[in-house]
């Protein structure tokens, strides 16, 4: 087979955050496959065909990409951020495992990208500077009870946390439930940062005590970072504060 498939992360938004490896793959591609807004981030050019689809058809999208590559196309499946973090890499491998045997002979590469939690942590300071976990708050692919259990365990372990997909039109109440649970579990003083549209001209960063946070502070374009009990805020007169989690733990 002469075709190949690359699963690429475009980064959080700013083109400067896209890796050289991903840029090179996009330049060689004959076909770009992905969720519409992500595909639209790839510039048009001669010889390039774009295949846009809805956000809830990941397996169909993955199978389509594999089929194109099996026919000889040079395909890049695009995700925002990193393709292996709540994105298309797992969907492609799920379709590969269930698909025709000849798909397994394809040249398949995963090209990492800067995911939203890393860009948000850097924009705020170093919130993820020590042990942390990432939790997807969408219950589209897993039960809400499992999300609640993981939130409880993350607080018990005193991880800093990155929360993806806090809210959407289809899940208007989910983040409110998660926020109420976190406020019940955490002691006063825990910091939370709302990073919206990070690395784009629309970027906003808001850090405040967890118990002062409200559900409407997060939308579909927001990644939420909850500090551990040790996360600190450094005030800087005339400049934005810096939020960081110390590396050393005293026992």
For residue range 36-53, what is the model confidence (pLDDT) as tens digits? Answer: 999 999 999 999 999 998
Of the CA atoms within 13 Å of residue 178, those in its CB half-sphere come to 33
The mean per-residue pLDDT over the stretch 218-223 comes to 92
Residue 8: which H helix or E strand, with range? strand 4-9
Q: Is the dihedral of CA 16, 19, 24, 27 positive or negative?
A: negative
Bridge-based pairing of strands 222-226 and 191-196 is antiparallel
Q: What is the CATH number of domain 4-114?
A: 3.40.1010.10
Residue 46: predicted pLDDT? 94
CB 129 within 8 A of CB 230: no
Could you tell me where in the chain the CATH 3.30.950.10 domains are found? Answer: 117-244
Q: What is the pLDDT of residue 1?
A: 52
Q: What is the pLDDT of residue 167?
A: 84
Do 46 and 131 meet the contact criterion of CB atoms below 8 Å apart?
Answer: no
Angstrom distance (rounded) from CA 102 to CA 61: 18
Q: Which of 110-124, 153-167, 170-184, 221-235 has the lowest mean pLDDT?
A: 170-184
Contact 162, 133 (CB under 8 A): yes
Beta strands in 69-123, from DSSP E residues, in sequence order: 74-79, 107-111
What kind of fold does domain 117-244 have according to CATH? Answer: 3.30.950
Strands 74-79 and 31-35: parallel
pLDDT over 90 percentage in the chain? 89
Would you say 246 and 129 are in contact if contact means Cβ atoms under 8 Å apart? yes
Parallel, antiparallel, or unpaired: how do β-strands 160-164 and 222-226 relate? antiparallel
User: Tens digit of pLDDT for each residue in 129-173?
Assistant: 999 999 999 998 899 999 999 999 999 999 999 999 998 777 778
Question: Which residues belong to CATH 3.40.1010.10 in the chain?
Answer: 4-114
The mean predicted confidence, pLDDT, of the chain is 94
Half-sphere exposure of 129 (CA within 13 A, CB side): 19
- Which residues lie across from 107 on neighbouring strands? 4
First to last CA, the chain: 57
pTM: 0.91
């Amino acid at each position: 087979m002469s075709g190949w498939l690359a699963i690429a992360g475009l980064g959080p938004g700013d083109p400067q955050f896209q890796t050289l490896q991903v840029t090179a793959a996009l330049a060689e591609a004959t076909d770009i496959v992905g969720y519409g807004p992500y595909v639209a981030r790839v510039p048009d050019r001669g010889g390039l065909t774009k295949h846009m689809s809805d956000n809830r058809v990941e397996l169909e999208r993955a199978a389509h990409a594999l089929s194109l590559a099996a026919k000889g196309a040079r395909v890049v499946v695009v995700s925002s951020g990193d393709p292996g973090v709540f994105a298309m890499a797992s969907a492609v491998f799920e379709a590969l495992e269930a698909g025709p045997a000849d798909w397994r002979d394809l040249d398949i590469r995963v090209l990492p990208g800067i995911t939203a939690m890393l860009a948000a942590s850097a924009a705020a300071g170093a919130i993820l500077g020590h042990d942390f976990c990432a939790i997807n708050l969408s219950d589209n692919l897993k039960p809400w009870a499992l999300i609640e259990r993981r939130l409880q365990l993350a607080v018990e372990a005193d991880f800093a946390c990155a929360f993806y997909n806090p809210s959407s039109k289809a899940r208007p109440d989910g983040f409110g439930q998660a926020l109420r649970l976190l406020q019940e579990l955490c002691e006063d003083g825990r910091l939370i940062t709302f990073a919206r549209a990070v690395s784009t001209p629309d970027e906003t960063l808001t850090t405040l005590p967890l118990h002062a946070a409200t559900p409407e502070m997060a939308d579909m374009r927001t990644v939420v970072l909850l500090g551990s009990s040790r996360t600190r805020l450094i005030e800087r007169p005339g400049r934005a504060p810096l939020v960081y989690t110390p590396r050393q733990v005293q026992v």
